[in-house]
Amino acid sequence: MFQNSATLANAKRMRRAPSSTERILWRLLRHRRLEHLEFRRQVPIGRYVADFVCLRHRLIVEADGPLHDELHDAERDAWLQSQGFRVLRVPNDAVARTPERVLEVIVGAARSR
């Protein structure tokens, strides 16, 4: 993807220290476990780092905790969409409570392209 060295370093740092929700989602998405969709995690795209990306479907899955800045997220999502990506935001509590439902939503988003 398109990145600079600071963004790449940030992505590597985030891969080494994932949040508990990101750990759960990665366990469910890695190795094409979900409908054979290939996801990568902590992918630098421009100046941003996407939590999970399925490049084939141009789908970004973001695990959102309670401390997200909605204005920044909207700006970020708009830029990512201008690059041809769709952004799916998943609340952390949904991943913890109903991971199977979250996976259904992700599959639906991938298929809707």
Q: Total domain count for the chain?
A: 1
Please tell me the predicted confidence (pLDDT) of residue 17.
76
Domain range for residue 84? 5-111
Tokens representing residue 49 in the block: 């780092």
Q: What is the domain-level CATH number for residue 96?
A: 3.40.960.10
Per-residue pLDDT of the chain (113 residues; tens, 9 = 90+): 555 777 877 777 777 777 889 999 999 999 898 889 999 999 999 999 999 999 999 999 999 987 778 899 999 999 999 999 999 999 999 999 999 999 999 999 999 86
Q: What does the alpha-carbon distance between residue 72 and residue 95 come to, in Å, rounded to a whole number? A: 22
Say which amino acid occupies 98. Answer: T
Q: What does the alpha-carbon distance between residue 96 and residue 80 come to, in Å, rounded to a whole number? A: 26
> According to DSSP H, which parts of 1-113 are helical?
5-16, 20-29, 70-82, 92-97, 99-111
Q: Is the pTM of this model over 0.75?
A: yes
